[in-house]
């Protein structure tokens, strides 16, 4: 490994264990004045920000932060030289590059860091950055395991650093409006919530790497794998966060990747605390690619006064939404089922379907039995008055 210090993967894991003493502290929201050592802004009153993980969301987060007049970008860290150099070129007057995050967090020229590495690195980078006195913006998922979550929360309390988890949808106007309507009683008592994120990758999934593929010369693949299993280079896994979700060790699958955004809304709207029961099921039933993550996964959380479910599918894109778009797009959303109606919401919009009359007051329309039978297709169901199939010995349709 090309590192300033010869720290093995085993040592990294040992470091995490030492930093994860028991104790909890809730993450805070990052106010601009919170950045900087001892809670003060950096040099010249500017907040000096470094980025760890210079791809996709990391670049987007950094660009948003850089829009503020009191922010200066001073560091870009990535195990892939091309990516860190691209950030440095964008902020060439102020930004230095680093191949190892430990070198960057040791710099006084960095007050705060955006942690946008693949998920398997989140815990160690977050804890070590806070131990180095840096405030952090940590992309979701915060961690992959409960023990790691406790360790990060512990570090927040111990170091008194600021940690904000990147669930940016929480700040959207639509989410806040849904919360207001649920709490105002638009749906009455809500007893069931369904959440989902579905898409159809097809049986091929994210595909198979060409066996002749070689890693880029300026990529430290050993360091990319870090605390997770060291596997041969895979260009599909390395490509970006969309593909990370197909490997359990590096992402936990699509549930940790997407559920934090989506179940955030019902947890907020209904003020849900800890569930009393949790069950989950799923498997890898259809997809055959280089990954190993479940292609279908369901979770049930039971709370004292409601239940919430989660469904993730990589093999079917029916989204349970109200749009009815017959296209294989990715869909996500939440259904709140209340006694007065049902609300559907995604990131940007919501709709309400009133309940109408209760079942006891519902009057069924009169439908003739013969007409109802004629509406069925196939030969398995016939009008009772039509005996020709029997008389003529016509066999039923295949599969009927």
Residue-level pLDDT at 384: 45
Return the closest-CA partner of residue 101 out of 38, 153, 54.
54
- Could you tell me the fold of the domain covering 9-166? Rossmann fold (3.40.50)
Residue carrying the six token digits 């150099």 = 85
Residue 395: CB atoms within 10 A of its CB come to 8
Q: Are 208 and 324 in contact (CB under 8 A)?
A: no
Going from the C-alpha of 108 to that of each of 93, 111, 112, the distances in angstroms are: 17, 7, 10
Residue carrying the six token digits 């870090």 = 226
Is residue 229 classed exposed, middle or buried when 0-12, 13-18 and 19+ CB atoms within 10 A define those classes?
exposed
Is residue 375 classed exposed, middle or buried when 0-12, 13-18 and 19+ CB atoms within 10 A define those classes?
exposed
Residue-level pLDDT at 379: 43
CA atoms within 13 A of residue 140's CA, in its CB half-sphere: 19
pLDDT tens, the chain, 400 aa long: 444 333 444 444 444 444 433 322 323 333 434 444 445 556 568 899 999 999 999 999 999 999 999 999 999 999 999 999 999 999 999 999 999 999 999 999 999 999 999 999 999 999 999 999 999 999 999 999 999 999 999 999 999 999 999 888 998 999 999 999 999 999 999 999 999 999 999 999 999 999 999 999 999 999 999 999 999 999 999 999 999 999 999 999 999 999 999 999 999 999 999 999 999 999 999 999 999 999 999 999 999 999 999 999 999 887 666 655 555 567 899 999 999 999 999 999 999 988 876 555 555 556 554 444 444 444 444 444 555 555 555 565 555 4
Classify domain 171-206+246-354 by CATH number.
3.30.360.10
Radius of gyration of the chain, Cα coordinates, nearest whole angstrom: 26
Spatial separation of the C-alpha atoms in residues 169 and 163, rounded to whole Å: 17
**Domain spans of the chain, in order of start:** 9-166, 171-206+246-354, 364-400
Residue-level pLDDT at 334: 96
Same fold, 9-166 and 171-206+246-354: no
Enumerate the H helices of 184-286 as residue ranges: 221-225, 235-238, 241-244, 248-251, 254-269
Q: State both tokens at 332.
A: 């996500």
Spatial separation of the C-alpha atoms in residues 99 and 2, rounded to whole Å: 8
Residue-level pLDDT at 72: 96
Q: State both tokens at 33.
A: 């004045």
pTM of the model as a whole: 0.79
Enumerate the H helices of 270-395 as residue ranges: 369-374, 388-391
């Amino acid at each position: 490994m090309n590192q300033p210090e010869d720290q093995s993967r085993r040592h990294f894991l040992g470091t995490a264990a030492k930093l994860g003493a028991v104790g909890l502290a809730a993450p805070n929201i990052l106010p601009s004045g919170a950045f900087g050592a001892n809670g003060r802004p950096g040099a010249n009153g500017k907040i000096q920000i470094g980025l760890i993980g210079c791809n996709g969301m990391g670049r987007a987060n950094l660009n948003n932060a850089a829009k503020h007049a009191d922010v200066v970008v001073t560091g870009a860290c990535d195990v892939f030289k091309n990516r860190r150099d691209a950030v440095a070129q964008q902020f060439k007057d102020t930004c230095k590059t680093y191949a190892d995050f430990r070198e960057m967090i040791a710099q006084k020229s960095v007050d705060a860091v955006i942690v946008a590495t693949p998920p398997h690195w989140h815990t160690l980078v977050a804890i070590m950055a806070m131990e180095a006195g840096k405030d952090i913006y940590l992309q979701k998922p915060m961690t992959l395991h409960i023990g790691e979550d406790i360790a990060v929360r512990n570090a927040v309390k111990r170091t008194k650093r600021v940690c904000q988890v990147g669930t940016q949808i929480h700040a959207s106007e639509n989410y806040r409006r849904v919360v207001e309507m649920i709490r105002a009683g638009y749906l009455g008592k809500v007893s069931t919530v369904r959440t989902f994120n579905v898409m159809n990758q097809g049986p091929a999934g994210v595909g198979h790497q060409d066996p002749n593929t070689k890693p880029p010369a300026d990529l430290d693949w050993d360091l990319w794998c870090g605390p997770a299993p060291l596997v041969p280079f895979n260009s599909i896994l390395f490509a970006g966060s969309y593909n990370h979700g197909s490997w359990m060790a590096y992402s936990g699958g699509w549930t940790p990747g997407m559920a934090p955004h989506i179940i955030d809304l019902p947890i907020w709207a209904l003020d849900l605390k800890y569930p009393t029961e949790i069950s989950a099921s799923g498997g890898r039933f259809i997809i055959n690619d280089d990954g190993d993550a479940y292609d279908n996964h369901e979770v049930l959380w039971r709370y004292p006064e409601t239940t919430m479910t989660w469904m993730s599918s990589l093999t079917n894109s029916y989204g349970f939404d109200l749009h009815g778009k017959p296209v294989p797009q990715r869909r996500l959303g939440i259904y709140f089922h209340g006694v007065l109606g049902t609300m559907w919401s995604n990131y940007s919009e919501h709709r309400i379907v009133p309940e109408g009359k209760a079942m006891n007051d519902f009057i069924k329309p009169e439908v003739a039995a013969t007409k109802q039978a004629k509406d069925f297709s196939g030969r398995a169901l016939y009008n009772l008055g039509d005996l020709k199939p029997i008389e003529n010995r016509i066999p039923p349709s295949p599969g009927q």
